[in-house]
Chain A
């Protein structure tokens, strides 16, 4: 793994994807055009995958059921886990798929409007895929932190307005 210093444009966008280009330009000492070109290039090369928003759905009243599913897989010749992982990843209900070390092979995050639909998805789609030998579901009960955002009250600025 190489350990290059990341481009500041990327670290700024990773913190806040909505930072305007001209602000990024001022923050990095580059021109607005340079910033826009770089971002476009990152998007085209797939370095920037997408921009998304972390939402506390509970506060909106439209809660969803989320499950973290450990999936055991028999790796296939030549493609290892990739074929099964890609097959799982294509389902719209699936938010994330990772290959992980430990007792199971894939960790899958599934989101559904209710428990019944989620159970159906696991039983009928996930568990029946060729190569999947077992699943263990963990249901999400409460969020504390997600993608760097705290879901409980964080610190307020309590400094004096003017200090030495």
Chain B
């Protein structure tokens, strides 16, 4: 047994995927005291009580089994009703809706179903940290399409066209955007869909922040003409219903696509947790008022933080959705990484450097306003001390 063991290396695919740029900041921040965090990507609210109560009741009744691979039919029906009522898009609860373990799983399934090795996926950046890895893990090639602050970080059909090659297979849209708060207008979506149709591309649309828009109602990508048959729509309960820990979301797509997603899901996940599914039914049926109340909080905090950042000379456009402000920190002369690290160590405010979100993120930081007004004000005052010190 003294012979040294030389194990074969781990999967190259796994090794090649980089760790998220967010991890480093998490490690530093977690080791410090009295940090005000603007680095949190989840609501500061807890799940509405009626939703928690429904879940508790289901446990008392002993509802602890597997569900259908697709998810509870009652939940799929509520999802279909929601999408029809809010966006006038129709998905069949029986064949076109899959309940997933977070949008995270939906993304992974969509990529695995759509991509062959080497297929390219166009991803407007800065974007959510999982998009690139999900494409790579499915054997695809992520192709970042950089969006700029002067266009309010909204990607255009022109930009996508310029990045499109023979190998392009799909476009991955994430609007309202984490980290920029950008949204796409109906017209912009129509142009993108027209372009995708011309080239025979699929569109995967992560609309997890659909309810968190502050000026006008969100446009569901699947609701524009010609979109439905090429689109995989992803949405979930994590953000609007403050249900991150329940791990419940859903994917909607034409039957032949959804069936393949369900097949993989049936082998790798079997089904989403039943308690969460029951909670999600309650969330769709009876938590509308709570959602609106939370949105009103975010709307007010958004104005407060954007105003505060601009006063500090950290130019920030007014984000139209999600709960992130994405100011430029270029006026300080620091890089995003330096800014975030020094701000954390010197003034105990955690933010995430824009570089964690891909191209176009440099020179910016992501500030989450899923935090109380008092904490936002405290963070802004500490940031003032920091910025003034730099001058």
Give A residues with C-beta under 8 Å from B: 8, 11-12, 19, 23, 26-29, 155, 157, 159-164
Which A residues are in CB contact (< 8 Å) with B44? Answer: 157, 159
Residue contact B304 to A11, C-beta cutoff 8 Å? no
Residue contact A163 to B41, C-beta cutoff 8 Å? yes
Instruction: Tell me if B159 is interfacial: C-beta within 8 Å of chain A.
Output: no
Check A161/B39 contact, CB under 8 A, given A8-B296, A26-B307, A27-B373. Answer: yes
Beyond known contacts A23-B373, A27-B300, A159-B42: 11 more, CB 8 A cutoff: A8-B300, A23-B377, A26-B307, A27-B301, A159-B40, A161-B29, A161-B40, A162-B26, A162-B39, A164-B22, A164-B128
Instruction: Tell me if B35 is interfacial: C-beta within 8 Å of chain A.
Output: yes
Residue contact A26 to B304, C-beta cutoff 8 Å? yes
Residue contact B30 to A163, C-beta cutoff 8 Å? no
Query: 27 pairs across A/B with beta carbons < 8 Å?
Result: A8-B296, A12-B300, A19-B373, A23-B373, A27-B300, A27-B301, A27-B303, A27-B304, A155-B46, A157-B44, A159-B42, A160-B30, A160-B40, A161-B26, A161-B37, A161-B39, A161-B40, A162-B26, A162-B30, A162-B40, A162-B350, A163-B22, A163-B39, A164-B20, A164-B22, A164-B129, A164-B130
Instruction: Tell me if B25 is interfacial: C-beta within 8 Å of chain A.
Output: yes
Which A residues are in CB contact (< 8 Å) with B126? Answer: none
Interface residues on B, range: 20 to 34
Instruction: Tell me if B352 is interfacial: C-beta within 8 Å of chain A.
Output: yes
Check A162/B22 contact, CB under 8 A, given A19-B373, A26-B307, A27-B373. Answer: yes
The listed residue (B39, B303, B377) touching A29 by CB distance below 8 A is: B303
* CA–CA, A26 and B46, complex, Å: 25
Residue contact A11 to B296, C-beta cutoff 8 Å? yes
**Nearest residue, chain A, Cβ from B351:** A162
Residue contact B350 to A161, C-beta cutoff 8 Å? yes
Which B residues are in CB contact (< 8 Å) with A164? Answer: 20, 22, 41, 128-130, 178
**Nearest residue, chain B, Cβ from A8:** B300
Instruction: Tell me if B308 is interfacial: C-beta within 8 Å of chain A.
Output: yes
Residue contact A163 to B35, C-beta cutoff 8 Å? no
The listed residue (A8, A26, A161) touching B308 by CB distance below 8 A is: A26
* CA–CA, A26 and B29, complex, Å: 28
Distance between B133 CB and nearest chain A CB, rounded to angstroms: 11
Residue contact A162 to B46, C-beta cutoff 8 Å? no
* CA–CA, A161 and B24, complex, Å: 12
* CA–CA, A133 and B29, complex, Å: 66
Which A residues are in CB contact (< 8 Å) with B303? Answer: 26-29
Which B residues are in CB contact (< 8 Å) with A28? Answer: 300, 303
Which A residues are in CB contact (< 8 Å) with B46? Answer: 155
Which A residues are in CB contact (< 8 Å) with B130? Answer: 164
Residue contact B42 to A163, C-beta cutoff 8 Å? yes
Residue contact A163 to B40, C-beta cutoff 8 Å? yes
**Nearest residue, chain B, Cβ from A159:** B40
**Which residues of B from 39 to 91 have beta carbons under 8 Å from A?**
39-42, 44, 46
Which B residues are in CB contact (< 8 Å) with A27? Answer: 300-301, 303-304, 373
